[in-house]
């Protein structure tokens, strides 16, 4: 059962990684002059769309949360709307944090906001898919020993590695190499993407490695 | 011997300061300069040497040229004139170089290839070392002897048009000038038209002796579009026409005057392939130097490869050409072709004057000057010269005289070359031996500090320092022997002068004993630790004493900052590092508060095994902490510790305070743009200081002072409250008096004074408050019962420092002070007290915030941002000691204020007796880690391109910071002692 679960986790993660890779290559078939660095904003939108779509599809197909809650249509709709609001809120709060970290307030606001969007895509969207708009559950998952399944565990790891990636991505900005990817916010978005991918790769491996020690409360 | 950890740390920092001082002395060689200052007037020129017969020529030789025009084109690279560009765009100059009566050279500029040091080098002939920047901090004017100064003293009339730097360097030296600023780099036509527009008038007038033109346009083009831009060609053609105009005008004037005129075309530095300058690449260093005069021989044939000379040679040559004494600090040698056409006696006389000047300089700067080959050659040629004079005076016009003369000439030229070289070498070499000694001492101290961390941070805050062990150990004596042997070997074989060898034997021996004693102590502490590590721990690591994410952040942040010092960009933009770290710290604190208040937190070991800790590096960083039964444990019925005490409004304040602090930091960050890459961005500080926004600045300053008063007064006694209020009023009056802010009832008063009275009024209150604070501290120590009195005393000392900072800060920086107090209050009330951080964490947070505020003030790792005006507050003239102290305090106000707040905070918290010792130890450690790593880095990077422009200023800042840290640690220890005597 457990190995089976880990295998499913691995496949879903591979699909996520694949969607990111697709977002790099597919647009160049349709759009001229597409490249990650030069048309960065387009790529950000596409990538965020791809990742969101894959996450949603995976959520609907795999259904890791085997909650047996009855769900009427209206319930589903409010749930979905709530999710959208949460997503927007997380985008705005990330934007505020970036500004507090020193991103320019007025110029490059679109760039900063899209960075917030992509970071939300990597962090908030999986949370919303898995846990729903339920703040208490979020707090539980992100406290030290609150995880109750490997899905939540991998969620923890990918989220944190995306944050750390974005954080580390800011480091090369002051260097005077004058590379195109040092421009705000490219290094940070790339850092976040690499962090997310790294989290996707690491978490199944880490869970597999520690599968003996991991026991989850069944509740 | 048992020592308190505070005392131990203070001793360590004191020794480190010594080590750094030795290192700095080795790293920054003392500049070569004459001890006779320029102010002391001219000494009589050296008479002609003579053997037996006394010479009749003791005065200075007369000038060779009547008028001199110096055309200095900024960033003129040698190939712009001598290369293909020159042939294409500067036809007239090329004609002069190839066919005309001229001498052309390639003058090598020494790094830093920046305009101001280069102007200094051209006019004084000395090599402006890095130390000169510090020496001349108090006045931008050049204090050294220069051609300009000598010309003014000789009554020459000098006219100057061009870069404003000259006007600043030589104030009141020009009879007429028009300075253009080099501020707007994007402008490259207007700057030069501003120079050229005077040209016709001044050339026609001819009532001057020296005309200096400094054209900036070429440099600006280089900065905008590099050396291959088409704009360069246009600019060169323009310069060529300017040169042609001057040359024809000078030639037409020549018939009226008995002496010929001289036209000098030179560049101050070159231009790299990207168009910038400052470093030492060949393109930046090589500049053309062309001397044009009808006195020179016309020589046929083209010269594609001119002779390489030094830029410093220009000063000596100009002095000779104008009949002036050679500047005293000049290390250059006369460009001989200039005097080649003169009679033999004059030629020898000129060379003699130059060698005498150089050898004097050598005598004053090199202890063993007699052994210098240049000096020996000089003595020999002087003797020969004397013989020649005797023959000459005996009127022997013959072949013999000529032959001997040319032999003397050759001797002189050799001597000049050797002397000039050995003088230049004095400046350019690192004194590796002194640097090594300093590094060894500092690293030993650091190792000792690091090794004693576990011992020093124990509850008792005491540690065993095996001070007696060196006396008995064989190792100690062996190390001393080895060190002495090394010392003797190095010092006897050293070619260049070495500071450490120049020390007396006693001092050098003392340092060696210190180094070896430190080594022994370190070794014995190390063995203690290793032996202690083998015995089973009495106190096995408790699960709850795992590192929190905050500790991990602190550790990683410190390590990251230290590592970042190896990259020049990170040194330039160090403020970004600190802002980043402080922001992350705030976010981590916010996460901690959320965890505490939403999830509940108790120290119980986690129940219900969930994830085995130990493998998860990153996860632990973020997900450390609370127990697992989080959902059940709601806000209301959480643990009894903190969440119950703080409720309602206070709880929300706790949750919001990290965000408030973040917002404050963001505001402060946009107040002063510092660093290099983004320094030109518009910031609030510039907006406020522009004269249109005086009203806004006044309101802001008044508001900040009000906030300062409200936040500081709560801890003071009534007397100091009143003093503080008056003092802050005085600060505003002072700023109004010097005209940076204004009173609402006098919106546009024009009378601007130096504000001496107002500033001294404030000083009285500063001293008063500090005195009251000290009195309270002493009282609390004597009475030994009044804990409250001590807290008040400490707070008063702190508020005295705040008042002093308010006086010294520029008005647009007063919000920095207000926000710093605000953040301190917020942190104290809502973060440190409720969350119960331990002393080490609080210390590190204080240190980080102190560093961030250092940069919020507008400081950077560049010497130019030091606000020297702080040293003149309340002083009529420049008085060295108070000015230096005030400037240092004004610059380091951020770190000092945070440190003194730390002392007050920790001693007002009664919970742990040893908090102050712990804090002192941590403070010493966290300050000495960067500085010790940095000196190692700098030593390995000493041939880096940016060593002078980036790394050296940072080294000075680090040294100064360590000194300040030592003072802070002494203060800590003094406070700690009072505690000890009380208990």
- Per-residue pLDDT tens digits for B778-789: 888 777 666 788
Residue A51's H or E segment, with its range, is helix A40-62
- Select from B933, B664, B971 the least CA-distant residue to B798: B971
Q: How far apart are CA B607 and CA B700, in angstroms?
A: 54
DSSP-based three-state secondary structure for B877: coil
Which portions of chain B are predicted below pLDDT 50? 38-40, 535-544, 601-644, 983
Q: Which residue among B363, B393, B427 closes a domain?
A: B427
Residue A190 structural domain: 1-63+72-215
Question: CA B191 to CA B371: how far, in whole Å?
Answer: 51
Determine the average pLDDT of the residues in A141-145.
77
Contact A113, A107 (CB under 8 A): no
* Nearest by CB: B619 against A101, A156, A167: A156
pLDDT at B869: 79
Cα A7 off chain centre by:
20
Contacts of B624 in chain A (CB under 8 A): 144
* Rounded (to 5) percent helix, strand, coil in chain B: 65, 5, 30
A174 touching chain B per CB within 8 A: yes
Q: Which of B724, B710, B851, B691 is nearest to B797 (CA)?
A: B724
Is B632 within the bounds of a domain?
A: no
Is the minimum CB–CB distance between A157 and chain B shorter than 8 Å?
yes
DSSP, res B3: E
Nearest residue to B621 via CA among B562, B564, B711, B555: B555
Name B163's bridge partners: B180
Angle at the Cα of B838 from the Cα atoms of B835 and B841, rounded to 5 degrees: 95
For residues B904 and B794, the answer to whether their CB atoms sit within 8 Å is: yes
Give the whole-angstrom CA distance, residue A104 versus residue B221: 29
Q: Do A209 and B572 touch (CB under 8 A)?
A: no
B468: exposed, middle or buried (Cβ count in 10 Å: 0-12, 13-18, 19+): exposed
**Rounded Cα gap, residues B369 and B361, in angstroms:** 10
DSSP B108: E
Q: Is B473 helix (H, G, I), strand (E, B) or coil?
A: coil
Whether residues A144 and B606 touch (CB distance < 8 A) is answered with yes
Shortest alpha-carbon distance between residue A147 and chain B (Å)? 8
Q: Cβ–Cβ of B599/A139 closer than 8 Å?
A: yes
H/E element, B265: strand B262-267
> Other C-beta atoms within 10 Å of B489: how many?
10
> CA of B621 to nearest chain A CA: how many angstroms apart?
10
- The predicted pLDDT at position B964 comes to 95
Which of B631, B632, B671, B944 is the best residue to mutate to test the A interface, defined by the most A CB atoms within 10 Å of its own CB?
Answer: B631
In chain B, which residues have their Cβ closer than 8 Å to the Cβ of A102? 576, 579-580, 583, 666, 669
Pick from B313, B337, B280, B284: nearest CA to B424: B313
d(CA B174, CA B118): 19
What residues are paired with B2 via a beta bridge? Answer: B464
Q: How far is CA A92 from CA A134, A166, B161, B584, in A?
A: 19, 16, 56, 19
Mean pLDDT of the region A115-136:
90
Given B328, B357, B372, the domain boundary residue is: B328
Interface contacts (A, B; CB < 8 Å): 98
Gap between the Cα atoms of B609 and B628, Å rounded: 9
Distances (CA, A) of B435 to B424, B943, B964: 20, 15, 21
Those residues whose C-beta lies under 8 Å from the C-beta of residue B612, and which sit 6 or more positions away, are A210, A213, A214
The backbone region for B489, taken as left when phi is positive above 0, alpha when psi lies in -120 to 50, beta otherwise, is: alpha
Tell me which chain B residues have a C-beta less than 8 angstroms from the C-beta of A147: 610-611
Asked whether the beta carbons of residue B611 and residue A174 sit closer than 8 angstroms, the reply is no
Pair of tokens at residue A79? 């749930």
Q: Same domain, yes or no, for B412 and B275?
A: no
Q: How far apart are the C-alpha atoms of B248 and B445, rounded to whole Å?
A: 69
Asked whether residue B455 is assigned to any structural domain, the reply reads no
pLDDT of residue B56: 66
Residue B560 lies in a domain: no
- Rounded Cα distance, B18 and B15, in Å: 5
- A161: contact with B, CB 8 A cutoff: yes
Say which of B567, B584, B615 has its CB closest to residue A175: B567
Cα dist from A102 to A96, B504, B582, whole Å: 10, 53, 12
Tell me the pLDDT tens digit for each residue of B803-846.
999 999 988 999 999 999 999 999 998 888 888 888 889 999 99
Same domain, yes or no, for B314 and B374? Answer: no
Chain A residues with CB under 8 Å of B618 CB are 157, 160-161, 164
User: What's this model's pTM, rounded to 2 decimal places?
Assistant: 0.77
Q: Is A176 on the interface with B (CB under 8 A)?
A: yes
Burial class (CB in 10 A: 0-12, 13-18, 19+), B852: buried
Among B294, B328, B362, residue at a domain's last position: B328
B392 and B244 within one domain:
no
Q: For position B27, what pLDDT does the model report? A: 86
Query: Cα distance from B615 to chain A (closest Cα, Å)?
Result: 9
Tell me how far CA of residue B653 lies from CA of B591, B633, B657, B909, in angstroms: 14, 21, 6, 21
| Residues in chain A within 8 Å Cβ distance of B565 | none
DSSP of B477-509:
HHHHHHHHHHHHHHHHH-SS--HHHHS-HHHHH
Tell me if B808 is assigned to some domain.
yes
Q: How many domains does chain A have?
A: 1
Domains in chain B, number: 3
Pairing of strands B462-464, B2-4: antiparallel
Residue B951 lies in a domain: no
Contacts of A208 in chain B (CB under 8 A): none
Q: Which residues of B touch A143 (CB under 8 A)?
A: 595, 599, 623, 625-626, 628, 630
CB contacts of B611 in chain A (<8 Å) are 144-145, 147, 153, 210, 213-214
- Same domain, yes or no, for B121 and B183? yes
Indicate yes or no: CB of A215 within 8 angstroms of CB of B665. no
Contacts of A100 in chain B (CB under 8 A): 583, 662-663, 665-666
For β-strands B176-180 and B158-163, DSSP reports them as: parallel
d(CA B670, CA B148): 43
Give the per-residue pLDDT at B131. Answer: 63
Indicate yes or no: CB of A144 within 8 angstroms of CB of B584: no
Q: Does A145 touch chain B (CB under 8 A)?
A: yes
Does residue B640 sit in helix, strand or coil?
Answer: coil
Rounded distance between C-alpha atoms, residue B394 and residue B399, angstroms: 14
Q: How many CB atoms lie under 10 A from the CB of residue B523? A: 19
Q: List all residues of chain A from 184 to 213 with a beta carbon under 8 Å from chain B.
A: 206, 209-210, 213
Q: Are residues B313 and B255 in the same domain?
A: yes
Mark residue B289 as left, alpha or beta (left: phi above 0; alpha: psi -120 to 50; beta: remaining).
beta
| Judgement on whether residues B306 and B181 belong to the same structural domain of the protein | yes
The residue in chain B having the minimum alpha-carbon distance to the alpha carbon of residue A99 is B666
Supply the pLDDT for residue B750.
65
What pLDDT does residue A67 have? 55
Which carries the bigger pLDDT value, residue B735 or residue A1? B735
pLDDT value at residue B425: 72
Helix, strand counts (H, E) of chain B: 40, 10
**Under 8 Å between Cβ of B25 and B434:** yes
Return d(Cα B712, Cα B89) in angstroms, integer. 67
Pick among A137, A141, A144, A183 to test the B interface (most B CBs inside 10 A): A144
**DSSP secondary structure letters along B704-760:** HHHHHHHHHHTTS-HHHHHHHHHHHHHHHHHHHHTTSS--TTSTT-------HHHHH
Q: Residue A174 and residue B569: Cβ atoms within 8 Å? A: yes
B123 plus B218 within the same structural domain: yes
Query: Rounded CA gap, A205 and A187, in Å?
Result: 27
> Same domain for B278 and B404?
no
Rounded to an integer, what is the distance from CA B916 to the centroid of its chain? 32
For residue B584, list chain A residues with Cβ-Cβ distance below 8 A: 167
Residues of B with CB under 8 A from a CB of A: 567-570, 572-573, 576-577, 579-580, 583-584, 587, 595, 598-599, 606, 608-612, 615-616, 618-619, 621-628, 630-631, 662-663, 665-666, 669-670, 675, 677
Residues B251 and B396 in one domain: no
Range of the domain at B394: 342-427
- Residues in chain B within 8 Å Cβ distance of A173: 576
B525 assigned to some structural domain: no
* Per-state percent for chain A, helix, strand, coil, to nearest 5: 70, 0, 30
Which residues in A lie closer than 8 A to residue B633 (C-beta atoms)?
none
Closest to B966 measured CA to CA, from B1, B44, B9:
B9
Nearest to B666 among A100, A142, A164 (CB): A100
Whole-Å CA distances, B729 to A147, B720, B726, B763: 59, 14, 5, 12
B890 lies in the same domain as B754: yes
**Tokens at B921, concatenated:** 């130890």
Answer yes or no: do B309 and B370 share one domain: no
Is residue B830 within 8 Å of residue B586, measured between CB atoms?
A: no
Cβ(B12)–Cβ(B450) under 8 Å? no
Q: Looking at the complex, does the CB of residue A168 fall below 8 Å from at least one CB of chain B?
A: no
Q: Are residues B154 and B269 in the same domain?
A: yes
Question: Is B611 in contact with A214 (Cβ distance < 8 A)?
Answer: yes
């Amino acid at each position: 059962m457990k190995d089976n679960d880990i295998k499913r986790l691995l496949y879903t993660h591979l699909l996520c990684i694949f969607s990111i890779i697709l977002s790099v290559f597919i647009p160049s078939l349709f759009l001229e002059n597409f490249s990650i660095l030069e048309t960065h904003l387009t790529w950000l939108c596409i990538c965020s769309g791809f990742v969101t779509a894959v996450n949603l599809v995976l959520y609907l197909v795999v259904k890791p949360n085997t909650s047996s809650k009855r769900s009427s249509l209206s319930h589903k709709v409010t749930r979905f709307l709530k999710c959208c609001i949460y997503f927007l809120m997380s985008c705005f709060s990330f934007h505020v944090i970036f500004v507090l970290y020193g991103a320019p307030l007025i110029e490059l606001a679109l760039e900063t906001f899209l960075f917030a969007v992509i970071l939300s895509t990597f962090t908030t969207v999986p949370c919303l898919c898995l846990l729903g708009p339920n703040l208490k559950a979020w707090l539980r998952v992100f406290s030290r020993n609150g995880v109750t399944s490997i899905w939540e565990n991998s969620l923890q790891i990918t989220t944190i590695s995306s944050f750390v990636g974005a954080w580390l991505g800011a480091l090369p900005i002051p260097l005077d190499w004058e590379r195109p990817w040092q421009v705000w916010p490219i290094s940070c978005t790339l850092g976040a993407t690499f962090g997310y991918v790294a989290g996707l790769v690491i978490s199944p491996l880490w869970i597999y490695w520690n599968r003996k020690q991991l026991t989850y409360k069944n509740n | 011997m048992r020592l308190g950890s505070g005392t131990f740390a203070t001793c360590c920092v004191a020794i480190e300061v010594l080590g750094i001082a030795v290192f700095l002395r080795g790293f920054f060689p003392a500049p070569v300069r004459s001890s006779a200052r320029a102010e002391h007037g001219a000494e009589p020129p050296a008479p002609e040497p003579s053997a037996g017969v006394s010479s009749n020529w003791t005065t200075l030789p007369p000038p060779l040229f009547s008028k001199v025009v110096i055309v200095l084109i900024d960033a003129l690279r040698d190939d712009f004139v001598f290369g293909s560009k020159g042939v294409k765009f500067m036809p007239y100059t090329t004609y002069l170089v190839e066919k005309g009566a001229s001498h052309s050279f390639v003058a090598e500029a020494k790094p830093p290839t920046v305009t101001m040091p280069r102007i200094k080098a051209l006019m004084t002939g000395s090599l402006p070392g890095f130390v000169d920047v510090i020496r001349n901090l108090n006045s931008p004017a050049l204090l050294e002897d220069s051609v300009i100064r000598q010309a003014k003293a000789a009554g020459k009339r000098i006219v100057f048009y061009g870069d404003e730097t000259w006007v600043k360097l030589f104030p009141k030296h020009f009879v007429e000038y028009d300075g253009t600023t080099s501020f707007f780099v994007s402008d490259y036509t207007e700057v030069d038209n501003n120079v050229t527009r005077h040209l016709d008038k001044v050339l026609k007038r001819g009532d001057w002796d020296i005309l200096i033109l400094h054209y900036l346009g070429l440099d600006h083009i280089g900065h905008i579009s590099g050396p291959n831009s088409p704009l360069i060609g246009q600019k060169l053609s323009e310069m060529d026409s300017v040169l042609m105009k001057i040359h024809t005008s000078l030639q037409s004037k020549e018939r009226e005057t008995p002496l010929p005129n001289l036209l000098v075309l030179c560049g101050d530095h070159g231009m790299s392939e990207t168009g910038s300058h400052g470093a030492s690449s060949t393109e930046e260093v090589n500049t053309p130097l062309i001397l044009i005069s009808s006195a020179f021989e016309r020589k046929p044939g083209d010269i594609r490869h001119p002779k390489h000379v030094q830029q410093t040679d220009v000063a000596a040559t100009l002095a000779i050409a104008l009949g002036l004494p050679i500047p005293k600090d000049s290390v250059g040698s006369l460009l001989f072709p200039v005097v080649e056409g003169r009679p033999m006696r004059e030629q020898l006389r000129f060379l003699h004057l130059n060698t005498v000047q150089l050898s004097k300089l050598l005598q004053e700067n090199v202890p063993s000057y007699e052994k210098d080959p240049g000096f020996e050659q000089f003595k020999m040629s002087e003797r020969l010269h004397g013989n020649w004079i005797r023959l000459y005076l005996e009127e022997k016009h013959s072949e013999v005289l000529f032959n001997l003369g040319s032999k003397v000439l050759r001797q002189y030229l050799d001597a000049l070359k050797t002397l000039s070289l050995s003088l230049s070498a004095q400046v350019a070499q690192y004194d590796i031996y002194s640097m090594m000694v300093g590094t060894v001492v500092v690293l030993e101290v650091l190792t000792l500090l690091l090794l004693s961390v576990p011992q020093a941070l124990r509850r008792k805050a005491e540690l065993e320092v095996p001070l007696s062990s060196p006396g008995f150990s064989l190792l100690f004596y062996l190390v001393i022997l080895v060190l002495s042997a090394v010392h003797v070997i190095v010092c006897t074989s050293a070619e260049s002068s070495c500071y450490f060898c120049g020390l007396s034997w006693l001092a050098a021996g003392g340092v060696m004993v210190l180094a070896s004693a430190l080594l022994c102590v370190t070794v014995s502490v190390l063995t203690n630790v290793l032996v202690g590590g083998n015995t089973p721990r009495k106190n096995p690591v408790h699960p709850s004493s795992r590192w929190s994410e905050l500790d991990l952040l602190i550790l990683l942040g410190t390590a990251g900052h230290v590592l970042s010092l190896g990259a020049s960009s990170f040194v330039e933009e160090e403020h970004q590092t600190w802002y980043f770290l402080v922001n992350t710290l705030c976010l981590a604190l916010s996460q901690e508060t959320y965890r505490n208040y939403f999830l509940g937190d108790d120290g119980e070991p986690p129940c219900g095994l969930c994830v085995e800790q130990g493998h998860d590096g990153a996860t632990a960083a973020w997900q450390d902490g609370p127990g697992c039964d989080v959902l059940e444990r709601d806000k209301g019925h959480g643990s009894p510790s903190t969440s119950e005490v703080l409720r309602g409004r206070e709880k929300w304040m706790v949750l919001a305070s990290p965000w408030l602090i973040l917002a404050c930091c963001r505001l402060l960050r946009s107040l002063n743009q510092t660093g290099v890459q983004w320094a030109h961005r518009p910031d609030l500080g510039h907006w406020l200081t522009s004269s249109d926004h005086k009203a806004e600045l006044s309101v802001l300053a008044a508001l900040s002072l009000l906030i300062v008063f409200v936040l500081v007064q709560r801890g003071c006694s009534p007397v100091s409250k009143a003093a503080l209020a008056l003092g802050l009023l005085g600060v505003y009056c002072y700023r109004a008096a010097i005209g940076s802010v204004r009173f609402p009832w006098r919106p546009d008063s024009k009378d601007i004074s130096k504000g001496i009275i107002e500033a001294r009024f404030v000083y009285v209150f500063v001293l008063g408050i500090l005195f009251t604070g000290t009195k309270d501290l002493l009282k609390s120590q004597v009475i030994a019962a009044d804990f409250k009195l001590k807290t008040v005393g400490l707070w008063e000392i702190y508020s005295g420092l705040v008042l002093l900072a308010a006086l010294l800060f520029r008005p647009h920086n007063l919000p920095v002070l207000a926000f710093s107090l605000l953040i301190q209050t917020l942190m104290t009330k809502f973060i440190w007290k409720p969350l119960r951080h331990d002393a080490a964490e609080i210390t590190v947070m204080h240190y980080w915030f102190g560093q961030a505020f250092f940069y919020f003030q507008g400081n950077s790792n560049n010497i130019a941002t030091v606000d020297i005006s702080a040293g003149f507050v309340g002083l009529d003239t420049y008085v060295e000691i108070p000015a230096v102290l005030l400037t240092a305090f004004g610059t380091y106000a951020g770190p000092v204020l945070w440190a003194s707040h730390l002392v007050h905070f920790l001693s007002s918290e009664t919970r742990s007796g040893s908090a102050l010792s712990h804090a002192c130890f941590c403070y010493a450690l966290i300050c000495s880690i960067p500085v010790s790593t940095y000196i190692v880095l700098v030593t390995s990077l000493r041939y880096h391109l940016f060593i002078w422009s980036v790394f050296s200023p940072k080294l000075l800042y680090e040294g100064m910071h360590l000194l300040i840290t030592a003072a802070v640690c002494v203060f800590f220890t003094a406070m700690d002692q009072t505690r000890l005597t009380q208990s």
